[in-house]
């Protein structure tokens, strides 16, 4: 089955190659990324890797980088000599990882999952341990790790209902692949049951919680909010709605809601952060269609000022901290069936959290926050308008929700300690 998988992946790559070649001709940076994906690294990196045997942390994109950094900070504080190599799949993830992991030997792109590429990569890197964040199942990579006797652990593991359904279609193959993983640190009991149902060995599966609960809240969220207001040229006390990680189809709804709210709250400001920064120009057009004045966050950084109703976040890695400036936060990917996004980031700053009906990828976390009075799930645009208007009228209610959010986070901390304790058994 590995051969069939490799053949299918090769065919997909061949079909994709014309667009890859076109982008490579236009962008030297893109060419550099593809050399790394083929397991070819610069001489400077090779010389660094030859001197160490790193722990390799793989985090697909920005969200996974954040979770992995929490673990890395604790572990390297206890083991200062521990050398790290970090890999990502996306360019945004790579950019954020370079800022987030100052202690790492390097940040690289994850190799294409073909046997020859994976073999070359592992022979070059010579990792002592590999940590795959959330649930990255790359069959050839895991098979080669097992053959090379490199231990592998899944950290902050989760499997959405959608992924679970897909994996079940090829369960016999996935079961063989999962035997190559030495340790599973899963977020919830549901995640553990799903990985067991797919064929993971029970003695290797542990429920440790979500690493993101262990993110340290800012020492003074009020001071951080004031800093952001100065940076973004926002008047003191102006109410702000931060809508993060939005997708196509959501911005239109949010702008309709925002326009209605401005009838009662004319000073309301919307900070809108599309999930994919390359969509900012498209979102800018949608904002203009609502006769609203928008400015890009990067333009504000360059000193631009003036009247504005919408700030469009076109920078990478700032959304988490931007939640601090908001009066209320909305988590995207939830008004449309995308499964939702991380609701823990706004909670870190004691902000009320709202999201739509589609939180399938965060069912337990969203239910927990709702139960604790720390979040509100809305059913549609009309419900979102009602709930936002109620909270904007009632600062005390916002304060109560924010405090409940921070208490909910504190009650579920400890995943990082539990994960490190398990990993120490693999690094002797």
From the list 36, 64, 250, 251, the catalytic residue is 64
Residue 265 CB neighbour total at 10 angstroms: 18
64 is catalytic: yes
Sheet with 55-58, strands from edge to edge, namely: 106-109, 84-88, 55-58, 129-133, 152-157, 183-186, 205-207
Strand 294-296 with 328-331, pairing: unpaired
Taking the C-alpha atoms of residue 5 and residue 137, their distance in angstroms, rounded to an integer, is 13
Query: What Cα–Cα distance (Å) separates residue 311 from each residue in 71, 326, 333, 339, 355?
Result: 32, 12, 19, 25, 20
CA 350 to the chain's CA centroid: 20
- As given in the structure block, the two tokens for residue 106 are 């390097």
Strand 269-274 with 240-246, pairing: parallel
Question: Which residue spans within 163-250 are E strands per DSSP?
Answer: 183-186, 205-207, 240-246
User: Do residues 345 and 245 touch, judged by C-beta distance below 8 A?
Assistant: no
Give residues with Cβ within 8 angstroms of 184, minimum separation 6: 153, 154, 157, 192, 195, 200, 204, 205, 206
- To which residue do tokens 């003695």 refer? 203
In degrees and rounded to multiples of 5, residue 378 shows phi and psi of -100, 155
Point out the residues that are catalytic.
Answer: 64
């Amino acid at each position: 089955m590995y051969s069939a998988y490799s053949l299918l992946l090769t065919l997909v790559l061949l079909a994709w190659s014309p667009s890859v070649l076109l982008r490579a001709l236009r962008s030297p940076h893109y060419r550099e990324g593809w050399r790394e994906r083929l397991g070819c690294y610069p001489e400077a990196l090779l010389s660094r890797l030859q001197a160490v045997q790193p722990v390799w942390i793989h985090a697909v994109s920005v969200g996974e980088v954040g979770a992995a950094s929490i673990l890395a900070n604790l572990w390297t504080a206890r083991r200062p000599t521990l050398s790290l190599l970090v890999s990502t799949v996306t360019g945004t993830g790579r950019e954020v990882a370079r800022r987030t992991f100052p202690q790492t030997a390097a940040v690289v792109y994850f190799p294409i999952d073909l046997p020859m590429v994976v073999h070359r990569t592992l022979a070059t890197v010579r990792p002592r341990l590999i940590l795959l964040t959330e649930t990255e199942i790359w069959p050839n990579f895991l098979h080669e790790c097992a053959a090379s006797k490199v231990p592998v652990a899944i950290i902050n593991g989760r499997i959405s209902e959608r992924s679970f359904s897909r994996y079940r279609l090829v369960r016999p193959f996935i079961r063989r692949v999962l035997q190559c993983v030495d340790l599973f640190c899963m977020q919830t009991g549901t995640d553990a049951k799903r990985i067991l149902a797919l064929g993971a060995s029970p003695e290797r599966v542990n429920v440790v919680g979500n690493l993101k609960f262990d993110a340290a809240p800012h020492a003074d969220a009020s001071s951080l909010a004031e800093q952001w207001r100065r940076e973004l040229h926002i008047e003191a006390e102006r109410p702000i709605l931060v809508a993060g990680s939005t997708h196509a189809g959501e911005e239109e709804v949010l702008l309709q809601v925002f326009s209605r709210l401005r009838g009662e709250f004319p000073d309301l400001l919307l900070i809108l952060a599309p999930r994919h920064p390359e969509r900012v120009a498209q979102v800018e057009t949608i904002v203009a269609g609502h006769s609203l004045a928008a400015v890009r966050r990067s333009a504000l950084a360059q000193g631009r000022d003036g009247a504005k109703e919408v700030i469009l976040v076109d920078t990478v890695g700032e959304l988490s901290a931007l939640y601090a400036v908001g009066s209320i936060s909305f988590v995207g990917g939830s008004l449309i069936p995308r499964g939702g996004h991380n609701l823990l980031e706004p909670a870190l700053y004691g902000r009320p959290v709202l999201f739509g009906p589609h939180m399938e990828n965060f069912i337990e976390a969203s239910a927990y926050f709702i139960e604790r009075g720390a979040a509100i799930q809305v059913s549609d645009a009309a419900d979102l308008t009602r709930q936002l208007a109620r909270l904007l009228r009632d600062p005390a209610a916002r304060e109560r929700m924010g405090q409940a959010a921070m208490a909910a986070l504190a009650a579920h901390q400890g995943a990082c300690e539990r994960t490190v304790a398990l990993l120490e058994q693999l690094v002797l």
